[in-house]
């Protein structure tokens, strides 16, 4: 696979995993709001799984960069990194909100 295609595949994977992580985190908030706390916890774990996939791809890219294999910085790459950072922030906030709903339930 040509290097450019591999970079595009990695970038698209980051975007997809970021979107899936954020979506699962949002579903966790909705589940907690409805009183489905076990489902909320499961959705947070699902979000974490998607974020781990994205983190592994980022680690691979950073390792290559450190070894002198520089990836081109494109608008799509910047968008992918932004997507991941927003997903991480949203996941953190979702975890706090689920915890709050749990306290309200008690």
CATH 1.20.58.80 is right for the domain spanning 3-105:
yes
Residue of 79, 90, 94, 89 lying closest to 16 (CA atoms): 79
pLDDT digits (tens, 9 = 90+) for 41-51: 999 999 999 99
In the set 55, 70, 79, 83, the catalytic residue is 79
pTM score > 0.75 for this model?
yes
Which residue has 């953190």 as its token pair? Answer: 92
Q: Is 55 a known active-site residue?
A: no
99 is in an annotated binding site: no
Checking if the pLDDT of 106 tops 90, the result is no
pLDDT at 1: 58
Which DSSP symbol is given to 67?
T
Residue 16 CB contacts under 8 Å (≥ 6 apart), including other chains:
none
pLDDT digits (tens, 9 = 90+) for 55-99: 999 898 889 889 998 888 899 999 999 999 999 999 999 999 999
Nearest 5°: the CA angle 80, 85, 90 is: 125
């Amino acid at each position: 696979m040509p290097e450019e295609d591999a970079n595009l595949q990695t970038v698209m994977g980051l975007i997809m995993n970021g979107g899936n992580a954020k979506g699962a985190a949002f579903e966790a908030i909705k589940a907690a709001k409805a009183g489905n706390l076990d489902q909320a916890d499961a959705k947070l774990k699902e979000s974490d799984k998607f974020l781990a996939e994205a983190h592994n791809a980022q680690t691979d890219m950073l390792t290559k960069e450190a070894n002198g294999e520089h990836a081109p910085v494109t608008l799509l790459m910047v968008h992918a990194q932004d997507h991941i950072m927003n997903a991480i922030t949203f996941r953190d906030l979702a975890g706090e909100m689920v915890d709050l709903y749990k306290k309200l339930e008690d």
